[in-house]
């Protein structure tokens, strides 16, 4: 999940994203790199394919977890997490994230059903009592 962009003197870490704790993400990335060096693991050949245009399975690439629940399970089952973070922090972090995931499952996601602009404006008007002059409430 590391990338060396052509023509630039930098290294991109694509294993983490903006929602992670940057310090824990960096610790795990460095720990994984050191573990690979200590055990003589080969990183494999670089992938030069445009991964937006192919399926990962066609290249033999494993996909990342699809949601927080799967990510917690992967983190919790990885022995490297306890080695890098210590078992107490690893367990506490996994418990915290499991609680967050469980709480998130009880919320209704707006994106889980289609909503039109007209419907949203109508609902907003009904709730607030405000009118929205010039807004088209019905298609056409």
Same structural domain for residues 100 and 80? yes
User: Could you tell me how far CA 57 lies from the centroid of its own chain?
Assistant: 19
Q: How many residues does the chain have?
A: 140
Mean pLDDT of 35-53: 87
Same structural domain for residues 119 and 55? no
Residue numbers of the domain that contains 119: 109-140
Same structural domain for residues 46 and 58? yes
Which string of DSSP letters, residue by residue, matches 83-131? HHH-HHHHHHHHHHHHHHHHHHTTSPPGGGS---HHHHHHHHHHHH---
Domain total in the chain: 2
pTM above 0.75, yes or no: no
Q: What is the pLDDT of residue 126?
A: 75
Same structural domain for residues 67 and 123? no
Same structural domain for residues 80 and 137? no
Same structural domain for residues 125 and 75? no
Same structural domain for residues 68 and 45? yes
Same structural domain for residues 34 and 94? yes
| Rounded Cα–Cα distance for residues 5 and 37 (Å) | 22
Residue 83 has pLDDT above 80, yes or no: yes
Mean pLDDT of 76-86: 96
| Rounded Cα–Cα distance for residues 89 and 73 (Å) | 15
User: Could you tell me how far CA 114 lies from the centroid of its own chain?
Assistant: 24
pLDDT tier, 140 (very low <50, low <70, confident <90, very high otherwise):
very low
Q: Which contacts (CB < 8 Å, 24+ apart) does range 134-139 have?
A: none
Segment of 42-46, 81-85, 120-124 carrying the highest mean pLDDT: 81-85
């Amino acid at each position: 999940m590391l990338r060396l962009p052509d023509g630039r003197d930098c290294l991109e870490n694509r294993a983490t994203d903006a929602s992670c704790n940057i310090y824990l993400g960096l610790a795990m990335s460095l720990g994984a790199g050191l573990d690979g060096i200590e055990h003589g693991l080969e990183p494999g050949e670089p992938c030069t394919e445009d991964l937006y245009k192919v399926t990962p399975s066609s290249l033999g690439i494993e996909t990342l977890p699809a949601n927080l629940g799967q990510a917690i399970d992967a983190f919790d089952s990885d022995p490297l997490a306890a080695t890098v973070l210590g078992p107490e922090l690893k367990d506490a972090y996994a418990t915290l994230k499991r609680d967050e995931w469980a709480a998130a499952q009880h919320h209704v996601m707006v994106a889980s059903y289609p909503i039109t602009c007209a419907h949203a404006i109508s609902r907003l008007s009904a709730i607030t009592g405000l009118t929205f002059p010039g807004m088209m409430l019905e298609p056409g």
